[in-house]
């Protein structure tokens, strides 16, 4: 698959088959993605691969946080975390000041997109999840990792074929 095809065919997948994605395949993708650029070449990203029990603990913490707000999209995200095969939690290395933090976050956004495209190329479905940023402290405690959780990525074999979500007209995003 060419890069262009991966970019055009990638979709956010929210329904996965009950089929395991191997840890080896996910680790291979993460390793390939580390060719991504990063500000000052700091490479601030850290990854923790979560399997069934641990990922479901994260899903439960997310649902519990919004127990009084049943309509919050976090509940859908929590169900997706339960349904996916594996979850990769992405952490940000400690930054010294706001500028350094900005650079780290930009760099992490970049590598996450590369991960999604590499996964698409390998036939996997993914979902970039930031709803978990509502429970940063709970994630740190649950996983015993003293770094800032920035996003997580759900992986699985897709059990849906979503239509492409609309994009803004190109003319509207080019400032003249």
- Catalog residues that contact ligand FMN under the rule CB under 6 A: 11-12, 14, 77, 127-131, 165
**What is the smallest separation between the CB atom of 22 and ligand FMN, expressed in angstroms?**
24
Q: Which is nearer to ligand FMN, 26 or 80 (CB)?
A: 80
**What is the smallest separation between the CB atom of 130 and ligand FMN, expressed in angstroms?**
4
Residue nearest to ligand FMN according to CB distances in the complex: 131
Using DSSP, state whether 93 is helix, strand or coil: coil
Alpha-carbon gap, residue 1 to 43, rounded angstroms: 27
**What is the smallest separation between the CB atom of 24 and ligand FMN, expressed in angstroms?**
26
Alpha-carbon gap, residue 106 to 24, rounded angstroms: 27
Q: Which is nearer to ligand FMN, 23 or 162 (CB)?
A: 162
Please choose, from the candidates 2, 10, 36, the residue with its C-alpha nearest in 3D space to the C-alpha of residue 162.
10
CB 132 within 8 A of CB 139: yes
Q: Which is nearer to ligand FMN, 125 or 147 (CB)?
A: 125
**What is the smallest separation between the CB atom of 44 and ligand FMN, expressed in angstroms?**
16
Q: Work out the burial of residue 165: count CB atoms within 10 Å of its CB; fewer than 13 is exposed, 13-18 middle, 19 or more buried.
A: exposed
């Amino acid at each position: 698959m060419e890069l262009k095809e991966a970019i055009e065919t990638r979709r956010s997948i929210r329904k996965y088959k009950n089929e395991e994605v191997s840890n080896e395949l996910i680790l291979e993708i993460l390793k390939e993605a580390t060719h991504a650029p990063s500000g000052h070449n700091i490479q601030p990203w850290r990854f923790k691969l979560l399997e069934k029990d641990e990922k479901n603990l994260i899903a439960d913490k997310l649902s519990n946080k919004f127990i009084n707000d049943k309509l919050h999209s976090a509940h859908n995200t929590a169900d997706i975390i339960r349904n996916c095969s594996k979850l990769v939690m992405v952490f940000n290395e400690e930054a010294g000041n706001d500028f350094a933090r900005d650079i780290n976050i930009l760099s992490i956004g970049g590598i996450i997109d590369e991960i999604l495209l590499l996964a698409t190329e390998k036939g996997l479905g993914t979902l970039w999840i930031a709803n978990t940023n509502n429970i940063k402290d709970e994630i740190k405690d649950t996983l015993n990792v003293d770094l800032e959780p920035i996003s997580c990525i759900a992986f699985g074999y897709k059990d849906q074929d979503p239509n492409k979500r609309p994009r803004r007209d190109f003319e509207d995003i080019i400032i003249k």
